[in-house]
Amino acid sequence: MNKKLKLWELERVSEEEFKQQKKFPIIVILNDIRSLNNIGSFFRTSDAFNVEKIYLCGITANPPHRDIQKTALGATETVEWEYRQSIIDLVLELKEQGVTVCSIEQAEKTTFLQNVADLPEEKFALVFGNEVNGVDQNVIDASNYIVEIPQFGTKHSLNVSVCAGVVLWEFSKKYF
C-alpha cells in the first residue's frame, strides 16, 4: 500500500524559513494580468518553485485582495513582490543588471520550452502576458528569448496560470 501523506507529514519549511532560504534565480513578471484568481495562482506557484520575486505590471492588481488570496493561499506573504507601472522600463532595467529576459509567447522565432536547459544564462526574468493579448510586442522586441510551450491540440494557448506552472517547473529544474 502507498499511503497518501497528510499535510503535516509533508515536512514543508515554515514561512519564516522559506523567506530566509536561497531562492532560485528566477523572476516572474506579470504583463497586464486581468484575473485576480490568475494573479493568486502565480503567487502560489512561485512559492512552490522557490521564485526570487514577482513584478506586477500595468493593470495587474496588487495584494491584498480577497480574490487574489483565495488562490494564493498566503503566498502573497511569502513571495517577494513589487508593483511597476511600466513593464518596458522594468525589462530594460533588469537587462542592464544582467538578467536574461524571456517572454513566454508564440512568435516567429522561439525557443521551445524543452530546450531551456541548454540556455547558458544563470538568472532569468520570465514575462507572462495578458489573458487575451499576450505579452506586449515592445516587451517581445526587448527580450533575450521568446519561449514557447509546444502544444498539440486545437486551442491556441493555455490558461496563463497553467502556463506558469509548466514554465516554472522547466526553468526550476536548472537549479536543483
Cα–Cα distance, 58 to 41 (Å, whole number) = 18
What is the pTM for the complete model shown? 0.97
Domains (range + CATH), the chain: 22-175 (3.40.1280.10)
Per residue in 44-95, pLDDT (tens digit) is 999 999 999 999 999 999 999 999 999 999 999 999 999 999 999 999 999 9
Q: Are 162 and 131 in contact (CB under 8 A)?
A: no
Pinpoint the alpha helices (H) of the chain.
15-20, 36-48, 66-72, 87-96, 137-142, 160-172
Cα–Cα distance, 124 to 114 (Å, whole number) = 16
Which residues on adjacent β-strands are paired with residue 147? 104, 111
**Grid coordinates belonging to 103:** 517572454
Per residue in 126-136, pLDDT (tens digit) is 999 999 999 99
Cα–Cα distance, 51 to 45 (Å, whole number) = 9
Which residues on adjacent β-strands are paired with residue 28? 54, 126
